[in-house]
Structure 1
Amino acid sequence: MTSPLERAGLRPRVDKALAVFLATQRARLLAIDEALADVADALDDFVLLGGKRLRPAFAYWGYRGAGGADSEQIVAAVAALELVQASALIHDDLMDRSDTRRGEPSVHRRFAARHAAAGWRGAGDSFGDSAAVLLGDMALVWSDELLHTSGIEPADLARARPVFDEMRTEVTAGQYLDVLTVVTGDTSLERASKVARYKSAKYTVERPLLLGAALAGAPEPLLQAYSGYGLPLGEAFQLRDDVLGVFGDPAQTGKPAGDDLREGKRTYLVAAAHAALGAGERAELETRLGDPALDDAGVQRLRALIRDSGALARTEERITALTTTALTELAAAQVEAEARGVLLELADAATRRAV
């Protein structure tokens, strides 16, 4: 069965739009200085050699569901979301001190290694960190450029710009709240849900849908229906991500086992465990959570605490409930038939994945 990410040949078309855009940007960088080939190479690898293209898929089918006609211009416009995603992930890996992404060195580790290989002066880690900040910023700048040079009519772009701007503000705010929960130790379910909503839920599903809808000139009732479908589904997507961050197979996720635990992530999964555990086990969870030296035995112990507390089951139940709410909203919406079918399949792909 064809993946919903492949319908309308979307994934290779998004890849092509990104490759064409990045080739143009490479030429611009090299015209400045040949040393910027390292930057172009890193962004090419990060953007083109991985990623599910989930956000462009939601935007594209949100557009088609509102009656928009297929074109290479709309594909280029929704491909801009992949550059926003690249920016978020590059910065996220830096903040989390993650060594890998999709089984390859994270950008800050890549540039630290480049520093070491060249025998340059100063601290390699500091150079890698600086490079990651700048490359993440560049990807965010380029996302704006790809959107407004996509060939979309100016009137359509004018409707879409506020959605695009709001999405980027929300995801940045959500990232800050995520960092804040680690240092404050806020392990409440309320805070965990808010972080999930703004760091991922709105940015992964709701805002891409609304971006596509705005490009198509969708009526207000459809915009409301897309929010009713997109927000709970996006939260379910993030909860699945949180489960995989603790219980996922590194061979599939491309991240070391237990990274979220070492980073001290106060996710819904962790908050549910914190609320359910007795005083002694809660203290153990608090002590071990966020320990960068947590070994495999420590990871297994925290997994057992979370599972035995009932938090894993509770999180799975919430994923199911949120997904059901999303699908109920979609069923009642006035969405073009083919798009409705693909959005149903995308909901399944977003919440039942193993990576």
Structure 2
Amino acid sequence: MRWNWQQNDWPEFRWDARKLVRAEALFAEGAGVVIGASKHLSVEEQSSLSIELMSHEAVDTSAIEGEPLDRDSVQSSIRRHLGLHGDHRRASPAEAGIAEMMVDLYAQAGSPLNEATLFRWHQLITNGRTDLKDIGRYRTHADPMQIVSGPLHTPRVHFEAPPSQDVAKEMGRFWEWLDRSAPNGLAALPPVTRAGLAHLWFESIHPFEDGNGRVGRAISEKILAQGLSSPAITGMAGTLLKHRKTYYAELERAHRELEITDWLLWFAAKALEAQQHTLRQVEFVLEKSRLLGRIGGQLNARQEKALLRMFAAGPQGFLGGMSAANYMTITGAPPATATRDLAALAAMGALRRTGEKKSTRYHLPILPEPLAAVEMADIL
């Protein structure tokens, strides 16, 4: 078997740009909608939304690699890096590192990417690791760089990257292409095509001892932002996590050839799906602001605390809906008070009631319908 980097014309990737025209147009249109909707948020709401998106991206990109992180700890760490008040909860080295990387990524979203930034990101995502030889630099080990699964005695090799001795040369070509293909470069590419190609190319080189997936997805996110007149967060990691199995399968297939139209179409579909999710979060914050503005002054401290807890669950909603028992746990209210408070919230339109007796649950009245996945056929 010959991997893409072993083929004679590597790294001359080929694709049918005509098939990506609609996807690029939809992405540009969607970015405009997200940016326009965000302008209706207050400065405080914009900051809160950015922190929420960064924390989700940090947790989701780590989850793709099988590393579970605590979202609240990551979010608290992000707030501290931004100089904002936090709850001072303790973050693990991994949580603190990915949080700082996300702040760095989004604070400088529209700026060019360079090797020094890449090495810094690698240092951050490997924060606290003692099992790696090469941190903040390209790998140097002599063993083959392989992605494998299955038992040790009969492993399945999903991909083998170029040997470590070739990484510096390969990354040199990658950096040259990144400059040429930039929005103001000599061979500028539209953002979705450029981000999809950069992700595949970077993953094909696999330049680090570990952490290539997280760094590669950060590169994609940065390139998508660079291609917009006003950089916006696309939030790819959550969508790729949702389609994790297919994501790995599509990457594995693309690693075997240099004709990558199918990979770019799949990546474009996921970028559009992620963009829809981000727009939904913006709209959710707007609806939250309208709802709280309408019922302002009518809430007691318990009701306000419970509502804010439900809003914190985001557009996907409070898992299973709010029950009287949940309300008691969150607010410390006794049973009769919890029942009375919830009934009052429903009466004023702050919550929507479903079920009866022990099955009674309360939901925010602004939760949208679930998002449908965007498929390749939708953008052709």
The reply to whether TM is greater than 0.5 is no
Higher-Rg member (1/2): 2
More helix by share: 1
TM-score by length of 1: 0.31
TM-score by length of 2: 0.30
